[in-house]
Structure 1
């Protein structure tokens, strides 16, 4: 039986820790400075389930006990686009957004940031074009983190692609299925 989006509601608080302990027990720990951009005002702009997921991740990030799995560093978590003089466009390349519209939760290793949007979706901000690229979205943070943890586990040789491929397809997330940039295509 494949997983559904409804199955993943609450994943960040309920199952993330166990998955990280299973697949990344020796990973270094996330360490962000105390002055990292607060998440509280952004949480107010989210629907309750989305706010709960981001609050759960934020508690883990700031605890100093979260294993490093998402390139969460002082420059990638809570990134200030205006403070760093970076443009921030929506996927239409014309709609300008502000720091109030996104909260970055980590990076991809190439300078691109994973950002939670006020509608709860997660999208990739491509630093070269300063845009939240189309075709990179996940419906919410819970499904993004579930997918990303499995992507990293496959890439690390701790989980077989065949064990998660049907679930990735069933979830139907652009950020996992996009032919060139999706996590599933990058698992090869």
Structure 2
């Protein structure tokens, strides 16, 4: 049976630790040294399932127990766009957003950030145009993290593309398609 986004509901809270132990044991943990924008005000803007996923993710990141399988540092996690003089446009390139409309959870390695939106989706904030790109979306944080764990495990040689291809295809996430180019 093909995997669906609904099958991954609760992944960050329920299954992430098992996958991290399986593929990233011994990987240096994420450490946040500076002040990081609190997540609680943003959690209040999310649907309960999305808030639960981000709260579980946040607990792991802030506790220093999350292996660094994503590019997360205190300068990106909870990034304060306004304080850093960065604009935020929605994918229509016209609607201005604010820090209240998104929460940065990781960097993509090129200067852009993965952000959770108030509708629960995860998208890429493209730094060169200061826009939340429409074609980079994941349905929610559970799907994003599940995908990124496997993507990094493939990159590290712990899984093969054949191990994940059917699930990636079944999930049909625009953000995953960008990763695989």
Give the structure 2 partner of residue 114 of structure 1: 114
Aligned counterparts, 1:142-161, within 5 A? 142-161=142-161
Q: Deviations over 1:119-143 (max 9, x none)?
A: 0000001111111112100010000
Q: Deviations over 1:26-74 (max 9, x none)?
A: 2111111362100001000000000000000000011011101111101
Structure 2: runs of 5+ lacking an equivalent: none
- Residues 148, 183 of structure 1: 8 Å contact kept: no
Give the structure 2 partner of residue 6 of structure 1: 6
Q: TM-score, normalised by structure 1?
A: 0.93
Q: TM-score, normalised by structure 2?
A: 0.97
For the residue of structure 2 that corresponds to 1:135, the secondary structure is helix
Tell me which stretches of 4 or more aligned residues in structure 1 moved more than 3 Å. none
| 1:20 to partner: Cα distance | 1.2
Structure 1: runs of 5+ lacking an equivalent: none
Indicate the RMSD between aligned Cα atoms, in angstroms. 1.0
Give the structure 1 partner of residue 16 of structure 2: 16
Give the structure 2 partner of residue 102 of structure 1: 102
For the residue of structure 2 that corresponds to 1:103, the secondary structure is strand
- Residues 82, 99 of structure 1: 8 Å contact kept: yes
| 1:25 to partner: Cα distance | 1.2
- Residues 165, 184 of structure 1: 8 Å contact kept: no
